[in-house]
Amino acid sequence: MSSYADNSLAEPDLSLNLAVADYVNAKQGSTPREAAVTIVSLINSKDSHTAVFAIALLDVLVKNCGYPFHLQISRKEFLNELVKRFPERPPMRYSRVQRLILGAIEEWNQTICKTSRHKDDLGFIRDMHRLLSYKGYSFPEVKPEDASVLNPSDNLKSIEEIQKEEQIAHAAKLQELVRRGRPSDLKEANKLMKIMAGFKDDTLVESKAKVAEDLDRLKRKADIFAEMLSAAERQGSIDTTDETIVELYSAVKVSQPKIQKIISEESDDEEAVQDLLKLNDTLNGLIQKYNLLKGGDIAGASNVQVASTGSGALESLSLIDFGDDTPASPTTQAAGSSSNNVDDLLGDLGSLSFNNSGANYGAGGDIALGGSLGGSPAPQQPPASTGPNYDVFSSLMNPSSSKSTPAPSTTTTSTTMDLLGDFGSPAPSTPQTNTTRALVNESNNLKFEVALVRESPNTVRAQAFFSNRTASSITGLAFLVAVPKSLQLRLEAQSGSFIPAFGNDAVTQVFRLDGATTGVPLKIKWKINYNVNGSPVEETATYVFPTI
């Protein structure tokens, strides 16, 4: 990193930056924190040339070093140092370094703070963004190509890759606990080491379930890709500039080596191997057909027969607005499996820092986040639970558990504007009141309930709860809902698609109904697809909500 003080370089050296990223990824441990501390010290250099180069390196590490480094840039000390040279009020004209820093904070706020599965650990980034906005600073627009790099990828991963990612997070958590060294931290570290000792065997089932969900998503993409290729075949040409077709082709192409690896991992399961081989044949056919169409060989492409993966993706697209049909009783029938978002196996990891770097580090300047600068609160081991969350760190630390103690009033005015000192980060959401919970349907396998609360005269918030009533796990759960044309539906992401045996309220999904006038009955049409005991099941009906 010392080369960034070399003014002979006209622009940042990307190869050198990537080499630093590779080094951080290889070393792990305290290296992410050491890199973050070094970079922010270079950013605060009086030489703007060095600062610009350091920000370029910071951008490369954020985009290539993943969660361990994201934790470091989300620490209060780092953020305070990052804006150390910002005046309390914005200048008439930003310097280049200030523009780059504001752009980086805006990019993090719009991407990893919203789309990362560990977004709850990045609350201090959101707090700094709010603080700068409150002070009057404006942020540049984020480029789509930059956002796409930081947003999570849904590419297929093998069981080995999934477990490796989780082991890295475990190791980072242990590093933090040992670094802090307090008796309570060492006690938690001892518990964590016991978890890590049996981690591979204990999480194998969850990792396999996640891979199964990823495969379901890949099957849905393959079916949609096949339909688009068939449409192109009928038209006699393919639009190679269509971003959707290109993205689907890329997803199919990238997944092939991963399928081969999963086949080797599942070699003892003959049924799974046969299913994977069929999927691999389908992907080969799609790639061959795409290349023939791209080359203009329509006749050759028509001779390539591609079997459907049976994902039910195209069928699910037909579940849209419906009329005032008579409510039907729930029906259960065979259907293709489908999946929604993958379970967050690492959920709420706590905010970490790995090494003390001097008493003044993190003090910041005129703009700084309040509260103790001695690091984030100590992680806490989650209580034992029979629920569906397989996140062994699910309640480990959150910045919201920290609350600063108000200082006594004095006649001296502090130079640090502590606008956030009286509340933690992020603040927990206020629970809804006057909630009505109703049973929508209960079959031999699945119980479906909805909790309703009116948020405004025209908006109703509904939260669906799914519980397993069997001794077998339920996988590939996908919830579909449609509303009359007089209403507008807003769906949030489903919490998961795996429900363990007798799991209660294991999967949830929030949706809102706009245009829901008070006193007028609300009606929805719903459909649930899932797999139990290796068999696909579909349940569907029309339901009228209680008046709220």
DSSP for 99-111, please give it.
HHHHHHHHHHHHT
Contact (Cβ atoms closer than 8 angstroms) between residue 79 and residue 58: no
What letter represents residue 358's amino acid? G
The predicted-structure confidence for 518-530, as pLDDT tens digits, reads as follows 777 788 889 999 9
Helices (H), 266-369: 270-294, 298-302, 313-316
Same CATH topology for 214-303 and 437-545?
no
Least confident interval from 119-133, 216-230, 460-474: 216-230
Which residue, chain included where needed, has tokens 């981690």?
199
Order of strands across the sheet with 535-544?
331-333, 535-544, 523-532, 474-482
Sign, Cα dihedral of 57, 61, 63, 69 = negative
Q: What share of the chain is helix, strand, coil (3-state, %, to 5)?
A: 45, 15, 45
Helix pair 159-180, 204-235: axis angle to 10 deg: 130
pLDDT at 456 over 60: yes
According to the model, what pLDDT value does residue 23 have?
92
- Cα(548)–Cα(542) distance, integer angstroms: 18
Bond before 426 cis per omega within 30 degrees: yes
352 vs 398: CA distance, rounded Å: 10
Does the structure show a pLDDT above 60 at 366?
Answer: yes
In this structure, the dihedral spanned by the alpha carbons of residues 362, 364, 367 and 373, taken in order and rounded to 10 degrees, is 30
Q: Does domain 2-150 have CATH number 1.25.40.90?
A: yes
| Domain assignments of the chain as residue spans, ordered by start | 2-150, 159-203, 214-303, 437-545
pTM higher than 0.75 = no
437-545 is a CATH 2.60.40.1230 domain: yes
How many C-beta neighbours within 10 Å does residue 61 have?
23
Cα separations (Å) of 283 from 274, 286, 311, 394, 514?
Answer: 14, 5, 14, 36, 40
Residue-wise pLDDT for 255-306, tens only, equals: 777 777 777 766 667 777 777 788 878 888 888 878 888 777 777 777 777 7
CB-count burial class (<10 Å; 0-12, 13-18, 19+) for 41: middle
In what helix (H) or strand (E) does residue 204 lie, and over which residues does it extend? Answer: helix 204-235
In three-state secondary structure terms, 282 is helix
For the domain made up of 214-303, give the CATH fold. Answer: Methane Monooxygenase Hydroxylase; Chain G, domain 1 (1.20.58)
Q: For residue range 204-261, list pLDDT tens digits in order.
A: 666 667 677 777 777 788 888 788 888 877 777 777 777 778 888 777 787 777 777 7
Report in angstroms the alpha-carbon separations of 267 from 185, 214, 227, 260, 270: 41, 18, 31, 11, 7
